[in-house]
Structure formats: structure tokens, C-alpha cells
């Protein structure tokens, strides 16, 4: 029976391992925790969520929702875990991080043909002989292995900095000032809202852009990825940038019906509802400065922090010309090497997990001597793999799920449709139809 070495027990590594194990292939899953942790990881469990507990939108007319629907059709372990551990988040799917990780850890360990090997892999040459290798070490790949991957792929890794938002205790939020509401009144009121008038906002803004930041190595020389821009960096683009971004007040009237000048939102972070993260407040401010500046937000004056915001380095390979559309390393010789997760240039929790599913499927079919399957660009999973392998521009950057990379073959689209929502629905329904057909053949 074939054996595959999977390096990394994050979302992608766990999905790949399970996809292989379901086909009867033996898996050695290498995970450096608990012997060694990255700067951003703290838990012993697999698939630890670092930046946020939100897995984004649910509805399939949203790109993130479509991606999750496709993953569910492919038997995703992460979707299964998310549905088990979800917490209220309006139209988004958010989870209790600990329950999510525990579910995945226990499920992976329950497969008799998955052997977990703890300890840092410093070089791919250290791995025992196998019929294939899947590298799913994530954006926080340990330095020694990252250097080895550079040598393997023959190109300099690109990198950006990612940031995690702070998490506060619910009981420390002043609910006399804060209030629960859903934007435009849609769905249940799952978010806590902290409204500011103009004077409060301008004072907060001034404090934010002048606050002391933590010294992060190489930060000033690295491009910041837009999806995780530190709130203080975003603010420095202009006084109203935050008001048209994470602090936009539209649709979030106060209980008395008045409209605030800016609104900070907090999202439930665990099942018990005892923890809330400050939405969009990824930051590299010093811890003391976070407490001082964020304490200027109405309702958070006496907030107690379960975790302050932190920044960490993310690394990914220049996948175009290095990986094919099956996430397979083009330079593979006798032993096929696949990559999965954010190290490939997909951006986001579910995007990372989806690439793990596909890498597991592709590797299993190759090892079992089966015809390869292709996920077309008319599906979200296929569009993502096509993007990281086939991007033709000069400045390759991480990409999350979006309809801009999907080219649909839905017959209804032969006639131009002006209604954007209807168009997305047609694209999504066609994509799901294709993924379900492929899944039935696997």
C-alpha cells in the first residue's frame, strides 16, 4: 500500500491526510507542535486558527460561501468541524477555536492509517522514504525548512506580514454604551457595536496613528497584504479610511435610531460567548498602547484582554511556474511532491483547507494509478488552483476566494445579465453542480 508523508497538521495538512486516508493510503503526518511553536501558535491541537475565528460568509452567492459549499460536497473535515463548533455570527460562519481544533485533532487521530509524528522537520531529506510528499507547512514555516523549500523550488520565497486582532472578555465590555445589532437589521443581532461621534472618532484616530508600535523584524521592507492590514497602517492612509472600512457606520443605528460617525464591531469568539474579538483590528501596536488607544472606544474603556493583537511573518512560494494546477511541484522527479495551504499563495482559512483537499485527491489518484481529475475554473476550488499555478502577471500576491477568478460556463450567462446578485447565483449553482458531479466520481 502506498505511503505519503504530509508535513504540517494545519487546516491543509489535516484535509490532505484525511482525503488520502479515506482512499486507504497510509499517511505519516508530521507536526512540530508541541515540541516547537511558531510565534503565533499556542495550542497543541491541529488546525489552530490564529488570526480570527471567522470563516466568512455562508451564502453561496458570496465567493466565500460558494467555496465552503464546494468543500462540503467534497467531504471537507474542516467544514464538518466548523458546523460542529459554530458560534453566532450573523451571515458568517464563525467557530469556537478550541472546539474546532479539538474536533479536527480527534478525527484525524481516529484514522488507523494516519500516523502522527511529532517533532520539527528541518529538511525534506530527513523524511523517511515514501511514495509521495505533501508540504503543508503553512505561512509560518520554520526557518530551516523554509530555506530547504527555497532550494527545492529554485526561487526566492515571497513574504508578507499577517496580523491577529485582539480578543476581550465579554464581561469587561460596558454594555450600557455598547449595543447588539445586525447591519441593516438583517439576521440576528450577533455583533456588539461601539458607536463613536465625530469628536470621539477624531481623538481615537489621532491616538491610533501616533501610538507606539512593536518592533517586528523586516516589517518596513515587506509588502503588507491588504486582507490583514494593521489597523494603524490603514488609518495612516487618511482620516476617513477606517470610516469606509472596518468602522463604517451605515446600517448600524444606535438603539435610539441615530446614526453614529463610526462604529467598532466585536464578534463572538467562543461558544460560551465569554470572548469577543475586535473586528478588523489586526495590529502591531505595543500591548500597553493597545490597551490605552482601544480603551478610547466607547464601551471598551475598561476592557480586559484575553489576547492582545500580534503580527507575524507569512511566507509563500512563487507558485506560477513552480506548481501545476494539481498543486504538484513541476520539478518532482521520482517521488511526486505536492504543496497545500497558504504556502501555495491561496489566502484564507478555507482557501488553505480547500487546497489540502485537492492535493490529497490529486496525490491519491496518482498513487492508485487512476485517471487525474480536473476542477475547472468554473468552480471556486478550480479557480484558486488555476490562479496560483497560472498567474501571468509580474507581482504574484496571495488570493482568496472571489468571483473575479471564476470563468463560468453556465448556459444562462450566454445572455448578458445586469443583475449582479443573480449572476453570482447562477455561477455558484453551476459550480456546485460540477463539484458534486466530480465528487460522485471520486
Structure pTM? 0.79
Helix axes 63-73, 420-441, angle to 10 degrees: 20
> Do 151 and 95 have their domain in common?
yes
Number of separate domains in the chain: 2
> Do 299 and 335 have their domain in common?
no
Whether 128 and 7 have beta carbons less than 8 Å apart is answered as: no
Range name among 137-141, 166-170, 294-298 with the lowest pLDDT average: 137-141
> Do 378 and 335 have their domain in common?
yes
> Do 178 and 262 have their domain in common?
yes
> Do 379 and 332 have their domain in common?
yes
SS3 125: helix
User: Averaged over 260-279, what is the pLDDT?
Assistant: 91
Owner of C-alpha cell 469568539: 269
pLDDT tens, position by position, 238-247: 999 999 999 9
Query: What range defines the domain where residue 139 resides?
Result: 3-157+317-441
Band of residue 394 on the pLDDT scale cut at 50, 70, 90: confident
> Do 9 and 140 have their domain in common?
yes
Query: What is the phi/psi pair of residue 122, to 5°?
Result: -90, -20
pLDDT tens, position by position, 410-438: 999 888 888 888 999 999 999 999 999 99
Domain boundary, last residue among 313, 331, 352:
313
> For position 244, what pLDDT does the model report?
94
- Helix or strand run (H / E) with residue 142: none
> Do 77 and 223 have their domain in common?
no
Owner of C-alpha cell 475565528: 53
> Do 247 and 323 have their domain in common?
no
Measured between alpha carbons, how far is 290 from 2 in angstroms, rounded to an integer? 51
Domain boundary, last residue among 248, 280, 313:
313
Residue 371 confidence (pLDDT) above 60: yes
> Do 78 and 189 have their domain in common?
no
Measured between alpha carbons, how far is 29 from 8 in angstroms, rounded to an integer? 7
Domain boundary, last residue among 275, 298, 313:
313
Measured between alpha carbons, how far is 301 from 298 in angstroms, rounded to an integer? 6
> Do 169 and 61 have their domain in common?
no
pLDDT tens, position by position, 48-61: 998 788 999 999 99
Higher-confidence position of 67 and 306? 67
> Do 148 and 171 have their domain in common?
no
- Total H helices, total E strands in the chain: 11, 16
Whether 164 and 310 have beta carbons less than 8 Å apart is answered as: yes
Mean pLDDT for all residues in the chain: 91
CATH of the domain at 195: 2.40.30.260
User: Averaged over 200-206, what is the pLDDT?
Assistant: 98
Measured between alpha carbons, how far is 234 from 161 in angstroms, rounded to an integer? 14
> Do 203 and 344 have their domain in common?
no
Whether 304 and 331 have beta carbons less than 8 Å apart is answered as: no
CATH of the domain at 125: 3.50.50.60
Residue 180 confidence (pLDDT) above 80: yes
Residue 249 confidence (pLDDT) above 90: yes
Of 52, 51, 56, the C-alpha closest to 91 is 56
> For position 216, what pLDDT does the model report?
63
Amino acid at each position: 500500500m502506498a505511503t505519503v508523508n504530509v508535513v504540517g497538521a494545519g487546516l491543509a495538512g489535516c484535509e490532505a491526510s484525511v482525503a488520502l486516508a479515506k482512499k486507504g493510503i497510509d499517511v505519516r503526518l508530521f507536526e512540530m507542535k508541541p515540541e516547537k511553536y511558531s510565534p503565533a501558535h499556542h495550542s497543541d491541537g491541529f488546525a489552530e486558527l490564529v488570526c480570527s475565528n471567522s470563516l466568512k460568509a455562508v451564502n453561496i452567492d458570496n465567493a466565500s460561501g460558494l467555496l465552503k459549499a464546494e468543500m462540503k460536497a467534497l467531504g471537507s473535515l474542516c467544514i464538518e468541524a466548523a458546523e460542529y463548533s459554530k458560534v453566532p455570527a450573523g451571515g458568517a460562519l464563525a467557530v469556537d477555536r478550541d472546539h474546532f481544533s479539538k474536533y479536527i485533532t480527534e478525527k484525524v487521530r481516529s484514522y488507523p492509517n494516519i500516523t502522527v509524528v511529532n517533532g520539527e522537520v528541518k529538511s525534506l531529506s530527513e523524511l523517511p522514504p515514501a511514495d509521495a510528499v505533501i508540504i503543508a507547512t503553512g505561512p509560518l514555516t520554520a526557518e530551516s525548512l523554509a530555506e530547504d523549500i527555497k532550494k527545492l523550488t529554485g526561487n526566492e520565497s515571497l513574504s508578507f506580514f499577517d496580523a491577529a486582532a485582539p480578543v476581550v472578555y465579554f464581561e469587561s465590555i460596558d454594555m450600557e454604551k455598547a449595543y447588539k445589532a445586525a447591519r441593516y437589521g438583517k439576521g440576528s443581532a450577533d455583533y456588539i457595536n461601539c458607536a463613536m461621534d465625530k469628536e470621539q472618532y477624531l481623538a481615537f484616530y489621532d491616538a491610533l496613528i501616533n501610538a507606539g508600535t512593536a518592533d517586528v523584524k523586516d516589517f518596513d521592507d515587506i509588502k503588507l497584504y491588504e486582507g490583514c492590514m494593521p489597523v494603524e497602517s490603514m488609518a495612516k492612509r487618511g482620516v476617513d479610511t477606517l470610516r469606509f472600512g472596518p468602522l463604517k457606520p451605515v446600517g448600524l443605528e444606535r438603539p435610539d435610531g441615530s446614526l453614529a460617525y463610526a462604529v467598532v464591531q466585536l464578534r463572538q469568539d467562543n461558544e460560551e460567548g465569554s470572548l469577543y474579538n475586535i473586528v478588523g483590528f489586526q495590529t502591531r501596536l505595543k500591548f500597553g498602547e493597545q490597551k490605552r488607544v482601544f480603551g478610547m472606544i466607547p464601551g471598551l474603556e475598561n476592557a480586559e484582554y484575553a489576547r492582545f493583537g500580534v503580527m507575524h511573518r507569512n511566507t509563500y512560494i512563487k507558485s506560477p511556474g513552480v506548481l501545476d494546477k494539481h498543486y504538484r511541484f513541476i520539478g518532482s522527479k521520482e517521488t511526486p511532491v505536492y504543496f497545500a495551504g497558504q504556502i501555495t499563495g491561496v489566502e484564507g482559512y478555507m482557501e488553505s483547507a480547500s487546497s489540502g483537499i485537492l492535493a490529497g485527491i490529486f496525490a491519491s489518484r496518482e498513487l492508485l494509478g487512476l485517471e487525474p481529475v480536473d476542477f475547472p475554473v468554473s468552480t471556486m476550488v478550480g479557480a484558486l488552483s488555476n490562479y496560483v499555478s497560472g498567474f501571468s502577471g509580474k507581482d504574484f500576491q496571495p488570493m482568496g476566494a472571489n468571483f473575479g477568478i471564476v470563468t463560468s460556463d453556465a448556459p444562462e450567462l450566454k445572455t448578458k445579465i445586469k443583475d449582479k446578485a443573480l449572476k453570482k447565483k447562477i455561477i455558484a449553482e453551476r459550480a456546485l453542480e460540477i463539484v458534486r458531479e466530480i465528487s460522485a466520481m471520486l
